[in-house]
Structure 1
Amino acid sequence: MLQFEPYMPHPALRQYIRSYWLICGSNTKESLELVPDGYPEMFFVLANAVHMPQFNGSSRWSAASDTGVIGQVSGRFTFEMEAGSMLFCVKFYPWTPHLLFKLPAWQLNDAALDMGSVSARPAFRELRERVAGCREIPQAVTLLNDFFLEQFKDLSGENPFVMHVVQQIFRQNGVVSMDQLSGSFRTSRRYIELLFRQHIGFSPKQYARIIRVKKASMYLLDPRFKGQIREVAGQLDYYDQSHFLKDFKAVVRQSPSAFLQDHLNLSETSVLRYLDQWDYS
C-alpha cells in the first residue's frame, strides 16, 4: 500500500505553500489516482520511476521527467508508481505558480511539465540535484523552505483580490455563482474571469466546480455520510441530482457509486488520513 506523509512549510511561506508531501511506493507497482483539488504542485521523483499522467488525452508530459510542475487539472488523473518509488511534492496555493514562474497560469492547465520548460532560471534547474542530494526528507523540507524564502523575498505581482476570491470559493466549498462573486466583490464577471485565467488558470466557474466535486468525493468517503450519495449532493446544494452526477462524472471520470466501489477496501484510518490532506477552510 502507498504510504503518505505530509510536512508543513515554514510559517512565512504559508500564504504560498499549502504543504509538502511524500508518497512512498510499496514493493509492487501501484497506481495513485487523484481527484483534482485546485492546488498546483511541484514534483520530485526521488527513487525509481513514477510515470506522469496524461490529461484529457494530451501529450503534455514527459515520462523521463523527474522534476516538474503540474498546473490546474480538470479531471481525475493517475500516477503509475513502480515498486519502491518515492514522489515528493510541493502543494502550492492556486495563485503561487503565476507569481513564482512569471507566466500566465493557464499555460500550466492540464499539464505535467518538466522544470526546464517552466522556468529557465538556473536556480530551478539546480533544485532537482539539491533535493536529490538530501539524505532525509526533513533535510529536503529545510532546503526547500530556504529556497522558497529566497524566491519570495522580493516577490511582486501579488493580487490580493484574486486571493480573496479563491478563499471565498474555498470557504463555500465551491457552492458559489459568478453573480454572487461579482456582487460580493462589486466588480464585473468579465474582470474576475480575466484575472482568474491569468493568475489561477481556470475560470472561476470551472475552479468552483473542481472544489465542489473534490469536497463531494471527500464527503462520500467520510464515515459521517456513510456513502449516502443523496445526502452528499444535498450538503453541497445540488438540489438536482442529475446536475450532481453530471459534475461528478466530468471531474472524477466515473459515477459517485463507482467511486465508492473503488474505495471499499480502504480502512477508516486510511480514509481519515486521506481526508486530512485537504483544507478548504
Structure 2
Amino acid sequence: MKVNFYKPKNSILKNYIEGYYFMAGNQDSNPIQYLTFPNNFCILSTTYNSDTILEENRIMVTPSTQNKVWTDLVFRYNYPIEVFCEQPINEITLYFKPLGLNHFVSDLEKIFAQRKNLTSYTPFPDFKDTMKQILTNPNREQQIELLENYWISKFQLKDLSLMEQILSDIEKDMKIEEIAEKYNLSRQYINKLFIKNIGKTSSEYRKIHRFRNTLINRKKSKNLTDLSYGNLFFDQSHFIKDFKELTHIKPSTFFKNVDTSKENIWLFI
C-alpha cells in the first residue's frame, strides 16, 4: 500500500499540524492489516462508507453502503494499535502536533479526561458534511486545498506558552522536580496540565518522545548502545525495556522489519 504523507502548505497550519494523508479504496483491493506505534501526536481520522469498531488496542474497518462518515481521535496509546481494513477505504488522517489540536477545538479537556486510547469524535457541527465533500472529490490538489481552508477557518490562537515551555523542558530531559521548581509548580499540577492539554502524563510523553527520537536517529548510530545513550536513556537495558513496552518487539527485530525512514511508522502483519 502506497500512502503519500503531505506537509501543510499553509504557513499557519505548519505550526500545528505535522501532516496528513489520504487513502482511497476500491472493492477489488486486498485487506490491509498493520500495527501503528505510539507517538505524541493527536491523530484525527475520517472515513467514508465504512463501519468502524474501536477496541482498546485494535481498530477494525469494514465497508458500508450507508454513505456514512466516521471520525475517530487517537491521542493516548502506550503500545501498538492494530488496524485492520477489510478493504482499502476512503480516508483522511491528520497528525496534529502535541498541542496543535487545542488551537482549533474547545472541548479537548473533556475528551482527554476520559483517559481512553481512542474515541469517536466529531469536532464541529459541519465537520462530517465537509469531510464527505472532500473525500468524494476525485482531484487530490482540490482535496488538499479544501482540507487546509477548512482547518484555517477553525483556527483560534490560544495562549499555551506555559505548556510549550514545559514540553520543551521535557524534550531536553529535564526532571519533573527541576521543571516544577523552575515554574514554582507542584509535580501533581504539572501532570494535571499534561492530562488537560495533551491527554497523557508527563512520564508517558517523555517515554514516547525518547522512543520516537530513536527512530529518527537510528541511521546515525553504530549500534544499540550508541542509540541508547544518544537518546537520553540511562543505559541499553533501559532503552530495550522502554522500547519493548511501546512496540511489543525487541529493538533488533523492530529495525529489521520496520522502515523508519517513512513519515508513518507502520508494520504490516
- Give the TM-score of the pair, scaled to structure 2: 0.79
**Hey, what does 2:257 align to over in structure 1?**
262
Residue number among 227, 235, 240 corresponding to 1:232 in the alignment: 227
For residue 28 of structure 1, what is the aligned residue in structure 2? 30
Q: Does 1:103 align with 2:108?
A: yes
On the 8 A contact 2:214/2:227 being kept in 1, the answer is: yes
- What is the RMSD of the two structures over their aligned residues, measured on CA atoms? 3.1
> Helix, strand or coil for the counterpart of 1:68?
strand
Distance 2:34 2:24 in 1: 11
- Write the distance in 1 (CA, Å) between the matches of 2:117 and 2:248: 17
**Which residue number corresponds to residue 66 of structure 2?**
none
Q: Does the residue aligned with 1:122 lie in a helix, a strand or coil?
A: coil
Corresponding residue for residue 203 of structure 2: 205
What residue is the counterpart of 1:43 in the other structure? 45
Gaps spanning 5+ residues in structure 2: where? 63-68
Residue 51 of structure 1 and its aligned partner are, at CA, apart by: 6.0
Alignment of 1:153-168 (within 5 A): 155=156, 158-168=159-169
Deviation of the 1:92 alpha carbon: 0.8
* Residue number among 53, 70, 88 corresponding to 1:66 in the alignment: 70
2:120 equivalent to 1:114? yes
Quote the sequence identity (%).
18
CA drift at 1:260:
2.3
Residue type at the aligned position of 1:33: L
Q: Which residue of 1 aligns with 2:244?
A: 249
Q: Measure how far apart 1:225 and its partner are.
A: 2.5
Greater per-residue strand proportion = 2
Counterpart contact for 1:54–1:111, Cα < 8 Å: no
Q: Secondary structure at the match of 2:15?
A: coil
Letter in 2 for 1:71: F
Instruction: Say if 1:16 and 1:93, in contact at 8 Å, map to a contact too.
Output: yes
1:150 corresponds to = 153
Secondary structure class of the residue paired with 1:36: coil
TM-score normalised by L of structure 1 = 0.76
Query: 1:13: how far off?
Result: 2.2
Shift, 1:211, TM fit: 0.9
Between the aligned partners of 2:134 and 2:168, the Cα distance in structure 1 is 31
Residues 91, 135 of structure 2: 8 Å contact kept: no
2-structure distance, mates of 1:138, 1:185: 45
Change (3 A) 1:51 1:103: closer
Paired residue total: 255
- 1:33-81 Cα offsets, whole Å, 9 max, x none, are 22212001111235x7696663347xxx674673232222222223224
Deviations 1:184-238 (A, max 9, x none): 4443322221111101111111111111112223434x2x325x22221111132
After superposition, the C-alpha distances for 1:153-176 in whole angstroms (9 at most, x for unaligned) are xx3654211122223434x3xx33
The answer to whether the aligner puts 1:13 opposite 2:19 as a matched pair is: no
Residues 31, 25 of structure 1: CA spacing in aligned structure 2 closer, same or farther, 3 A cutoff?
Answer: farther
For the Cα contact (< 8 Å) 1:32–1:81, is it kept in 2? Answer: no
2:92 counterpart (74, 77, 88) = 88
Q: Residue deviations 1:59-111, cap 9 Å, x none?
A: xx674673232222222223224444453211112223345142315246543
Counterparts of 1:169 and 1:83, CA distance in 2: 40
